[in-house]
Amino acid sequence: MHVNIEKSWEEELIDEFNKPYFQLLTDFVRQEYSTKTVYPPAKLIFNAFDSCPFNEVKAVIVGQDPYHAPGQAHGLCFSVNDGIKIPPSLINIYKEIRDDLGIEIPLSGNLERWAKQGVLLLNATLTVRAHQAGSHQNKGWEEFTDAVISKLSNEREHLVFILWGAYAQRKGSSIDRSRHLVLKSPHPSPLSAHRGFFGNRHFSTTNKYLITNGKKPIDW
């Protein structure tokens, strides 16, 4: 089936799009958008991919669900639209960047600038019903995003996979550590950030690895 996604990703994932589970997922998602309030806006479901072509990926940050309040989600994990209050987890991410690299905390929570530099901001589940966290889990998205991670692990080299929290770490369990750098720490949520997210230095570590492997570092 045809999926409206960036060309290089379409070529990489065409087999996935033609599997029975993806057809069932598509039917479910279309029904949800036609009968419920669902985030992100339908045209932004694949924004992470559209903003960061397959061969331009340098780093992958794995999230879980899109934000489920109005105006927040726009298809990039941890990111919110300009003008939206920065969520607590992202505030903590910005604090760690400040402490790690000396970069002042931005006024906007829009992370499109990261995506344009090669950071794939990948939620495990790409859609969610308004005000109902987890409402689109176990419908097929996880299988799809597992396939994305496997493609990157198997076909690219010297990527950085950034896995915050137990969920992301399980999601990344199959990544080939001999080809890629895998960084793990607690989640940046206020509930867990003090248990080892703060001080993880993932941003400077990512850039050192990229430079070592002949790639341009990320301007976090």
Q: Known catalytic residues?
A: 65
Distance CA 9, CA 5 (A): 7
Matching residue, tokens 């087999």? 15
Which runs of E-coded beta strand occur in the chain?
38-39, 59-63, 119-123, 128-129, 160-164, 181-185
List, in sequence order, the alpha helices (H) in 36-140: 47-50, 88-101, 112-115
SS3 90: helix
User: What distances in angstroms separate CA 159 from CA 15, 29, 156, 170, 200, one per listed residue?
Assistant: 23, 31, 7, 18, 18
